[in-house]
Amino acid sequence: MKRTLWRLGVIFGVATAVWGATLEPPTVLAQDAPAAAQEPEQQAAESKPAENPASQNGAPSQGAETKPAVVKKVRLAHIVISGSLPESPGQMSLFGDLGIDLRKNVARLDKAAEDDSVQGVILQIDVELPRGKLNELRAAVQRVRNAGKKVYASLESAQGNQYLLAAACDEITMPESGIVIVPGVRAEFAFYKNLFAKLGVEADMIHCGDYKGAAEPYTRDSLSEPVRENMTALIDDLFDQMVAGIAADRNLPVDQTREAVDRGLLTANEAKAAGLIDDVAYPDELRKRLQDEYRAEELVYVQNYAKQKIDVDFSGPMGMMKMFQTVFGGSASSRSDKSPKIALIYAVGPIVSGKSQSDLFGDTVMGSTTLVEAVKTAGADDSVKAVVLRVNSPGGSALASDLIWRALESLDKPLVVSMGDVAASGGYYISMGADRIFAEPGTVTGSIGVVGGKIAVQGLFDKLGVTTESITRGKNAGIFSTTEKFSDSEREAVERMMNDIYLQFRTKAAAGRGMSVDELTEHAGGRVFTGRVAKRLGLIDEIGTLKDALIAAKRQAGFKSDEKVQLMLLPKPQNPLEELLGADANAEREARSALVAAVTGFAPDAAAPLRQALQVQQAFKEPVAAILPYWFQID
């Protein structure tokens, strides 16, 4: 193992979720859309079903005295939500669905809302969604409903956030053999102190902030009381949001909804009896019923509605290059014309120094060099009138975070931040200089605090019969030693450095949020919050989606509501040939991809945690790093 893995780490850690990442909006912004992401209580008034389908086609509703006229043909857009739904174009996986990212799915729903040739949407959901992506899609579904068109969720089964997306629709249908799984929210934490003791390894960690629990997996065998308090409050709020959201969507009492959630697993018939779904029917039965309700001579499902057509003929000598272009670079993500633009910069993944990297599975790390270059590109382009930063990051290198923050702070253009699933620690750090910050209700953010230390392996060496000898000059020469814990002098030096970094973090955050340092400190100490709580505390400005952030940036830039504005997407997605064969290719990245591929083959459930652990390992290479202290999952 490389020596760098055990170097001193100052960590902006965050208790975050194993949810996923993000969105690009349509390429052209025209009319302002209504605010999309709202808290469950606010959604209740807007979740009423659309009017009767027949009346939308010029016929009276079924209860009218005059019999509705027969409609010759009714078209329903058929949209399947599937695949990994990467946040940005650069996150496309070589082994994933070609061309299907969150941006395209949101754009398809928005097109259906505006398309006079379709009267409704059949939504098929074949993917488990993280909370950030869930809210972006829910908002898009609501825009279809606001246009007077019904959205029908056709499910085989539904679990967790998959069901929460379906609940945003007018109707939910599943076959009799289907199951609804909504067991609630569960957080599980792993601790390695006892394992380390058996190996002869010691974690020597220091933290600034009682709630900064990033080191606890290595120094304790259970949660400390402050961290337990913070995690409990976070899970309580996420659970309350889930229950309130289902109750509002389904017009159910909160107590009845909570009872259904406590049951956890419900058959289709039980789910219907509990009010969680509307109909138990097979897809062909749903289609026949809709044809009768619309009184249509012909009911057409527009298959693959608004889906980008992809040439999948990869034969011939240029087939491989063509495939790479399709997956990673099918269309230009930035525009060379001089028409007015808004730059949309994706800040996705753990933050490291240097260039951004991605592997064949679509996992990325955010490099400070790449992000700073993207910010400078947007700043230097006179056609760019405003910048939106889409953040989906648990943090990373403190130095890299600060460099990105400085580049954004130096922008002489309106800057709006949109937070996805998580924007905490370093992810919050880079957001602090924005004019306005948007977050989802369930975004995990905050975690303003510092933790650092090292792993001492002398005990392991003793067990293995490995001996070491050192010659040192300087009182603190052993501060990066991989064998010994900190001396008193070394610990004092580390604490002094960490306290200075913590003060920088709080000072910059306070300035960005218009607070005094003392006021900001009340919300620091490593505490993490949902977006809903963060808004109440003044750590963000608005609850809203990426689309809302783009509209806000458009207004701040002085555009008229009906003026078309193009998007410049940054950083430019890198062709995988450049990743694999370019100057930055390295054996370690290839080894990581190979390891994940091997584990996926025999233990698929372990592949995602392994990828996350490898990303954490990259952050630990930095002398000053930000890292996830805990992983928890919405079950």
**Residue-wise pLDDT tens digits, 120-137:** 999 999 887 888 889 999
**Residue 383 has which token pair?**
């056609």
Check residue 27 and give its pLDDT.
45
Pairing of strands 528-530, 357-358: unpaired
Report which of residues 436 and 41 the model is more confident about.
Answer: 436
Top pLDDT among 98 and 233 is at 233
Predicted confidence band at 87 (pLDDT cuts at 50, 70, 90)? Answer: confident
Cα–Cα distance measured from residue 625 to residue 233, given in angstroms and rounded to the nearest whole number: 26
Residue 112 in this model has a pLDDT that exceeds 60:
yes
The pairs formed by 487-492 with CB atoms below 8 angstroms and a separation of 24 or more are: 491/206
* CB within 8 Å of 473: residues ≥ 6 apart: none
AA letter at 552: A
Calculate mean pLDDT across residues 330-355: 79
Quote the pLDDT of residue 223.
Answer: 95
Q: What is the pLDDT of residues 361-371, one digit of tens each?
A: 557 889 999 99
Which has the closest alpha carbon to 515: 483, 482, 538? Answer: 538
Asked if the model's pLDDT at residue 18 lies above 50, the reply is no
Per-residue model confidence (pLDDT) at position 71: 75
CA gap 549, 540 in Å, rounded: 12
Please state the rounded mean pLDDT for residues 227-247: 96
Mean pLDDT across the stretch 455-461?
94
Query: Which stretch of DSSP H or E encloses residue 570?
Result: strand 565-570
For residue 257, the number of C-alpha atoms closer than 13 Å in the C-beta half-sphere is 20
Sequential DSSP letters for 117-162: T--EEEEEE-S---HHHHHHHHHHHHHHHHTT-EEEEE-S-EETHH
| CA–CA gap between residue 417 and residue 540 (Å, rounded) | 9
User: Would you kindly state where each structural domain of the chain is located, as residue ranges?
Assistant: 35-55+69-185+249-302
Strand order in the sheet with 71-81: 279-280, 171-174, 150-154, 120-125, 71-81, 296-302
Q: Which two tokens stand for residue 404?
A: 């990105």
User: Mean pLDDT across the stretch 34-48?
Assistant: 41
Q: Is the pLDDT of residue 583 over 60?
A: no
- Residues 489-511 have a mean pLDDT of 95
Q: Tell me the CB-side half-sphere exposure of residue 607, using CA atoms within 13 A.
A: 16
CA–CA gap between residue 429 and residue 440 (Å, rounded): 17
- Rg over CA atoms, the chain: 26
For residues 263 and 50, the model is more confident at: 263
H or E element: which one contains 579? helix 576-581
Cα separation, 449 vs 498, in Å, equals: 9
Sign of CA dihedral 53, 57, 60, 62: negative
Could you tell me which residue, 554 or 606, shows the higher pLDDT? 554
Nearest to 584 by CA among 405, 435, 365: 365
- Predicted local confidence at residue 321, as pLDDT: 44
Rounded Cα gap, residues 447 and 19, in angstroms: 18
Other Cβ atoms closer than 10 A to 376: 14
Residue 204 has pLDDT above 70, yes or no: yes
Confidence of residue 579 (pLDDT cuts 50, 70, 90): low
Q: Is 111 exposed, middle or buried (0-12, 13-18, 19+ CB in 10 A)?
A: middle
CA–CA dist 205, 485 (Å, integer)? 9
Rounded CA separation 255/266 (Å): 17
Mean pLDDT score across all residues of the chain: 81
Question: Is the peptide bond preceding residue 571 cis, with omega within 30 degrees of 0?
Answer: yes
Strands 415-424 and 444-446: what pairing?
parallel
Q: With a cut of 80, say whether residue 4 has pLDDT above it.
A: no
Q: How many CA atoms lie within 13 A of 324 on its CB side?
A: 14
Which residue type does 248 have?
A
Place 519 in a pLDDT band, splitting at 50, 70 and 90: very high
pLDDT at 360: 55
Beta-strand runs (E) in 12-93: 15-17, 28-29, 71-81
Percentage of the chain with pLDDT > 90?
Answer: 61
Q: Residue 214's pLDDT is what?
A: 86
Give the type of residue at 190: A
Q: H-helix or E-strand containing 445?
A: strand 444-446
Given a cut of 80, whether residue 634 has pLDDT beyond it is no
How does residue 67 score in pLDDT terms, banded at 50, 70 and 90?
Answer: low
The closest alpha carbon to 348, from 447, 412, 419, belongs to: 419
Give domain 35-55+69-185+249-302's CATH superfamily: 2-enoyl-CoA Hydratase; Chain A, domain 1 (3.90.226.10)
- 226 vs 335 pLDDT, higher one: 226
Residue 58's pLDDT is what? 38
pTM attached to this predicted model: 0.82
Instruction: Find where tokens 């499902």 sit.
Output: 301
3-state secondary structure of 380: helix
Task: Give the tens place of pLDDT for each residue, 607-620.
Answer: 455 455 545 555 54
State the distance between the two ends of the chain, measured CA to CA, in whole angstroms: 35
Average pLDDT (202-212) is: 92
> SS3 of 240, please?
helix
Q: Are 180 and 165 in contact (CB under 8 A)?
A: no
pLDDT one-digit tens code per residue, 398-435: 889 999 999 999 999 999 999 999 999 999 999 999 99
Residue 36 has pLDDT above 80, yes or no: no
Note the pLDDT of residue 351.
Answer: 92
Confidence of residue 146 (pLDDT cuts 50, 70, 90): very high
Most confident among 360-374, 545-559, 621-635 (mean pLDDT):
545-559
